[in-house]
Structure 1
Amino acid sequence: MKSNQDASQERWFHRNRMWLVTAATLIAYVAFLEVAFGIRALASELSAIGIAPLLTALILLVATYVVRCWRVADYFPRETEGRFRRLLRLTLVHNLLNIMLPLRSGEASFPLLMRSEFGMPLARATAALLVMRLLDLHALLAAAGIGLVIGKDWALPALLLWLAFLLAPIPIFALKGPILKLSARLPKRLQTLVDEIENGLPASPVAFLRAWGATLLNWGVKVVVLAWVLRLMDVAPIAASFGGALGGELSSVLPVHAPGGVGTYPAGIVAGTLSFGADASSAALAQIGKAAVNAHLLILISAFVGTGLAVLIAPSKKL
């Protein structure tokens, strides 16, 4: 009997090890924040922004999740037709898992959830996720590039360079046909893989433009909101605020992402602000550190609020 109980406990720990690591990390992080800054001091810093700006920022951040969901719906119109609320719940659950689980392991939930909810083949959903993540990275860098242009006082060379980078996906997508034709020379096994990747690409230039536009809107709003919040918490100059938003979000899309982004997300914000011209004095770093922690907290709150709302309004069928 004891042996069976031990085996059952071992299976439980094995099934829940990711969440246990996440919970332990969050507890340790809260303890660290109390020692380093003081939870009350951080809360006071955040409340000093004012309820109206905080609610505005929170609403805009949650709205970006709706834009992200619309992009998926537009990407797979036939499979998701008439089920936007269910897709919204799937998108928000995937986003929360991506934030809370370590080392980007939450990404694996997207193709699994798409197969469970909409009967989509894993290869197609995975290929589409890869394409969307590449668009995300480009849009994130383009949105943060606004800070560089502002930092250069809107100098024409900097503006033209930013515009060239912003529009780069259009000619790249135009080369899709010639590149895919080369797959005919590949071994059959690799050609099958290329075919699955092709199935994950937008079907037409118009569909690509919609996906690209939704991606730019999503990340543009998110980066601008984060930069605004950082600036309200005395992160200066404005270019450094954009750099902080870029650094935090880059930390969340790279494989080094910690559970819940604890440590890595604020560190990314601090690194981004310094790279974009923030003061590196002890007093300035202390202020940036507190602002980074609070900006990260706002991201976590928006993810939980968005997921809670999506679960409430979605149909009752389990994912």
Structure 2
Amino acid sequence: MKTPTVASRDTWFIRNRMTLLTLGVVIAYAAFIEWFWGWSTILSQWAQVGIGPILTALALLTGTYFLRTWRIYDYFPRETSGRFTALFRVTQIHNLLNVMMPFRSGETSFPLLMRSEFAIPLARGTSALFVMRLLDLHALMAAAGIGLAVASPHRLLAWAFWLAFLLLPVGAFVARRALVRFAARVLPKKAQPVVHEIERGLPADARAFARAWFATIVNWLVKVLVLAWALRLMNVTPLVASFGGALGGELSAVLPVHAPGGIGTYPAGITAGALAFGALNDKAALTTLAQASINCHLLIVVSALIGSALGLLISKKRVI
């Protein structure tokens, strides 16, 4: 039988195990970089880039957080009306948890925060998050498809497939009611309230869907272009490889396999994406790419911290 002290310590470890895991991975990763390259070498790339481009990139990345907040604000107009700053704080907490927690576990905070702050039922919040994440993934894959279509020897066929893929969300939105009716028929009666809330979590009409889709495209376009620009400034060549690296990093961030803080997985995604889009693979080029991918990841983490700080500054009320 455990003593109260041991039981209390075990409970503390269980309650904080994800935070401890994240902290441990961060420390190990920082030590590895110091041993392999040295942080002075990594950060020297920023010295070469200059303070102006760094601040511009951070401002643009932070600006995308306001666009993401507007997308949710428009998605739940009745519940969030007049409370944009509170919603911005919620989205920044959710974003920071998403960045820092492993395996996309930070996603679970969104429906919980929306219920706590705006009394939105869990099923509806979860449904809305699922739709938005599908749009996010679709936008990134469509962007990657542009590079594949350009490089394809059968361009006409490739662009036809790309256009069909681009319009997939429209088809899914048109078929939404039929899919909900099918779910209502096959699921037991106890699940009907959940099905109803899921339906309420979908875009209300075609205009609401179009706004959410447009905001998603603009958000990812800005983010990918900023990251590609940052990689190019850090000597990742050719330009299309910088674009591929930005896509690879962001795709690694929206997929389930996501390390704590994106450590390892995000730079690996950048490297894989850049190589897939034609980056040079000699030793010097790979070293430059590896260091640039780490710095690009640091840019994402710093922008997330800035967004969270802004969220706390512009909205004093704390989320419990």
Q: Which residue of 1 is the match for residue 220 of structure 2?
A: 219
Q: Deviations over 1:165-188 (max 9, x none)?
A: 333322331222333333353233
Between the aligned partners of 1:317 and 1:44, the Cα distance in structure 2 is 38
Residue 169 (str. 1) matches residue 169 (str. 2): yes
Question: Kindly tell me: are residues 241 and 146 of structure 1, through their superposed partners in 2, closer, same or farther at Cα, counting changes over 3 Å?
Answer: farther
> Which amino acid in the other structure matches residue 66 of structure 1?
F
Correspondence list, 1:78-227, <5 A: 78-148=78-148, 161-187=161-187, 188-189=189-190, 191-227=192-228
CA RMSD of aligned residues (A): 2.0
Q: Which residue of 2 is the match for residue 256 of structure 1?
A: 257
Shift of 1:290: 0.5
Shift of 1:70: 0.7
Residue 8 (str. 1) matches residue 8 (str. 2): yes
> Which amino acid in the other structure matches residue 239 of structure 1?
V
Question: Kindly tell me: are residues 235 and 149 of structure 1, through their superposed partners in 2, closer, same or farther at Cα, counting changes over 3 Å?
Answer: farther
Shift of 1:201: 0.5
Counterpart secondary structure, 2:62: helix
Between the aligned partners of 1:159 and 1:314, the Cα distance in structure 2 is 46
Shift of 1:143: 3.0
Q: Which moved more, 1:126-135 or 1:194-203?
A: 194-203
Shift of 1:68: 0.6
Between the aligned partners of 1:18 and 1:108, the Cα distance in structure 2 is 14
Shift of 1:162: 3.9
Counterpart secondary structure, 1:48: helix
Between the aligned partners of 2:234 and 2:148, the Cα distance in structure 1 is 20
Between the aligned partners of 1:80 and 1:94, the Cα distance in structure 2 is 16
> Which amino acid in the other structure matches residue 242 of structure 1?
F
**How many residues get paired?**
317
Question: Kindly tell me: are residues 236 and 148 of structure 1, through their superposed partners in 2, closer, same or farther at Cα, counting changes over 3 Å?
Answer: farther
Q: Which residue of 1 is the match for residue 42 of structure 2?
A: 42
Q: Which moved more, 1:189-198 or 1:75-84?
A: 189-198
Shift of 1:49: 1.1
Question: Kindly tell me: are residues 146 and 50 of structure 1, through their superposed partners in 2, closer, same or farther at Cα, counting changes over 3 Å?
Answer: farther
Correspondence list, 1:54-65, <5 A: 54-65=54-65
Between the aligned partners of 2:157 and 2:52, the Cα distance in structure 1 is 37
Shift of 1:198: 1.3
Q: Which residue of 1 is the match for residue 26 of structure 2?
A: 26
TM-score after normalising by structure 2: 0.93
Identity across the alignment (%)? 58
Question: Kindly tell me: are residues 227 and 149 of structure 1, through their superposed partners in 2, closer, same or farther at Cα, counting changes over 3 Å?
Answer: farther
Question: Kindly tell me: are residues 191 and 26 of structure 1, through their superposed partners in 2, closer, same or farther at Cα, counting changes over 3 Å?
Answer: same
Between the aligned partners of 1:133 and 1:292, the Cα distance in structure 2 is 24
TM-score after normalising by structure 1: 0.93
Shift of 1:95: 0.3
Between the aligned partners of 1:4 and 1:191, the Cα distance in structure 2 is 44
Shift of 1:256: 1.2
Between the aligned partners of 1:169 and 1:55, the Cα distance in structure 2 is 35
Q: Which moved more, 1:188-197 or 1:105-114?
A: 188-197
Shift of 1:3: 2.9
Shift of 1:315: 3.0
> Which amino acid in the other structure matches residue 185 of structure 1?
R
Between the aligned partners of 1:150 and 1:142, the Cα distance in structure 2 is 13
Unpaired runs of 5+ residues, structure 2, are none
Answer yes or no: is the 8 Å Cα contact 2:184–2:195 preserved in 1. Answer: no
Q: Which residue of 1 is the match for residue 309 of structure 2?
A: 308
Counterpart secondary structure, 2:226: helix
Shift of 1:157: 5.9
